[in-house]
Structure 1
Amino acid sequence: MNLNLRHAVISNVSGNTQDQLQDTIVDAIQSGEEKMLPGLGVLFEVIWQNANNEDKKEMLTMLEQGLNKNVQ
């Protein structure tokens, strides 16, 4: 993923409300289109970079549980 994609995704959603951001995320997930994955990755990168250590640990716990749930 290059810097231009990051910039494009961030520019596209900058200034959006929480409801608009949620709609963007839900639509990307529900569409199931592979082309949406890089954009979701950029959004996760923003979340990760702005999270404190406790939030990161909670995200990792949820990720681990979700992945284990899907494997079983």
Structure 2
Amino acid sequence: MPITLDLRQAIVHKVHNKSENDLREMIEGSVDGPEAALPGLGAVFEMIWKEIDTQQQDQLIHVVHDHLKQVTPAPLK
């Protein structure tokens, strides 16, 4: 019987034994990269979100909120 992994499990499996440098390269290579990388970044973000305290979550939300105020979204096609 084949093993079925969900997306989160597949991402964790892919990055499980990576060094910190490898993780940095993966993240930096995904930022502004192909849209196919976005689910991986989302899974990594979810891992971070679950591990940080409420104050850190608030800081992260503040950074995202401030950034979003400074950008103009591209028109929808």
**Aligned residue in 2 for 1:36:** 37
State the distance in 2 between where 1:61 and 1:51 align.
Answer: 15
Which of the pair has more CA radius of gyration? Answer: 2
Could you say what the CA RMSD is over the residues aligned between the two structures, in angstroms? Answer: 1.3
Calculate the TM-score normalised by the size of structure 2.
0.80
Unmatched runs of 5 consecutive residues or more in structure 1: none
State the distance in 2 between where 1:22 and 1:54 align.
Answer: 24
Instruction: Kindly state the Cα deviation for residue 36 of structure 1 after the two structures are TM-superposed.
Output: 0.8
Structure with more of its chain in helix, by fraction: 1
State the distance in 1 between where 2:47 and 2:10 align.
Answer: 13
Higher relative contact order (CA 8 A, sep 6+): 1
Percent of matched pairs sharing the same residue: 26
**Aligned residue in 1 for 2:59:** 58
2:10 aligned partner, one-letter code: A
**Aligned residue in 2 for 1:26:** 28
Unmatched runs of 5 consecutive residues or more in structure 2: 73-77
